Structure 1
Amino acid sequence: MRNIYYQLSDPKEWYELLAQKLPSVIQENQITLDPKMGDGQSTYLKVQEGLWAQQMDFKLNEDLELHRIPHQKNELFLVDFYLSNSQIQHKSKEHNFTLGFDNMNVLLTSATTKSQTIVKAHESVRIFNLLFTHTWLDENVLVDESGMCNFFECNSPIYISENLDYRFSDLIKSIDLRHSDRLTSISVILQILDYLFVKLKRRRLNTPPKANIHHKDLEQLMKVRESIDANPITEVSLERLSEQAGMSLTKFKRLFKEVFGTSPYQYHLQNKMAKAMEILTKGTYTVSETGFILGYANLSQFSKAFKNHFGILPSQVEP
Structure 2
Amino acid sequence: MEITLGLRPSDIWLAKVAEQFGTVPQSQHEFNYSKGSFFFKLYSLLIEPDKVAVVLGDIFWDAPLNTLRKSIESNDYWVLSFILSDEPHNCFLMNNNTRHQIKARKSTIFYSSKMAADTVWPVNKRSRFVTISFQRDWICEKLGVNAESTDNSPLISMLNSENGVYFHGVPLFERLVSFDTLFTDTRPLSWLLSVEAQCYELIVDFIGQLATFQSNATDHKFSHKDMKRVMEVESRYFPATCMLPSLEFLAGEANMSLSKFKKCFRHIYGAAPYEYHLNLKLDIARRLLLQNKWTIAEIANQLGYTSIASFNKVFKKKYNMNPTTLINEHSSQMLFTIKDPDND
Report matched runs for 1:126-165 at 5 Å.
126-141=128-143, 143=145, 147-165=153-171
Number of the residue aligned with 1:81 = 82
- Answering whether residue 225 of structure 2 is matched by residue 219 of structure 1, we say no
Number of the residue aligned with 1:279 = 317
Paired residues of 2:315 and 2:321 also in contact (CA < 8 A): no
Equivalent pairs: percent with the same residue?
14
- Over 3 Å counting, the alpha-carbon distance change for 1:3 and 1:37 in structure 2 is farther
Report matched runs for 1:1-319 at 5 Å.
2-5=1-4, 8-26=7-25, 27-33=27-33, 35=35, 38-49=38-49, 50-93=51-94, 94-99=99-104, 103-141=105-143, 143=145, 147-165=153-171, 168=174, 171-172=177-178, 173-176=180-183, 179-180=187-188, 181=190, 182-204=192-214, 210=223, 212-213=225-226, 216=229, 218-220=231-233, 242=251, 245-248=254-257, 252=261, 255-256=264-265, 260=268, 279=317, 282=320
- Over 3 Å counting, the alpha-carbon distance change for 1:206 and 1:10 in structure 2 is farther
Residue 226 of structure 1, CA deviation: 7.9
1:265-294 Cα shifts (integer Å, max 9, x gaps)? 7x889999999997375268xxxxxxxxxx
Paired residues of 2:155 and 2:207 also in contact (CA < 8 A): no
Residue 111 of structure 1, CA deviation: 0.8
- What residue identity is the alignment partner of 2:317? I
Residue 29 of structure 1, CA deviation: 1.2
1:146-199 Cα shifts (integer Å, max 9, x gaps)? 833322332422221221238616613433587141333322223333432343
Unaligned runs of 5+ in 2: 283-313, 323-344
SS in 2 for 1:85: strand
Q: Distance in 1 between matches of 2:122 and 2:318?
A: 38
Paired residues of 2:170 and 2:269 also in contact (CA < 8 A): no
1:66-118 Cα shifts (integer Å, max 9, x gaps)? 3332222212222222233143222234322234xxx3422222211123222
- Over 3 Å counting, the alpha-carbon distance change for 1:226 and 1:30 in structure 2 is closer
- What residue identity is the alignment partner of 1:247? M
Q: Distance in 1 between matches of 2:78 and 2:199?
A: 15
- What residue identity is the alignment partner of 2:164? I
- Over 3 Å counting, the alpha-carbon distance change for 1:212 and 1:138 in structure 2 is same
Paired residues of 1:57 and 1:126 also in contact (CA < 8 A): yes
- What residue identity is the alignment partner of 1:82? I
Paired residues of 2:7 and 2:77 also in contact (CA < 8 A): yes
- What residue identity is the alignment partner of 2:28? E
Normalising by structure 1, we get a TM-score of 0.64
Paired residues of 2:90 and 2:119 also in contact (CA < 8 A): yes
Number of the residue aligned with 2:325 = none
- What residue identity is the alignment partner of 1:175? L
Paired residues of 1:73 and 1:155 also in contact (CA < 8 A): no
RMSD across aligned C-alpha pairs, in angstroms? 4.5
SS in 1 for 2:15: helix
SS in 2 for 1:9: coil
Residue 134 of structure 1, CA deviation: 0.6
Paired residues of 2:85 and 2:106 also in contact (CA < 8 A): no
Paired residues of 2:12 and 2:28 also in contact (CA < 8 A): no
SS in 2 for 1:55: strand
Residue 139 of structure 1, CA deviation: 1.0
Paired residues of 2:38 and 2:61 also in contact (CA < 8 A): yes
Normalising by structure 2, we get a TM-score of 0.60
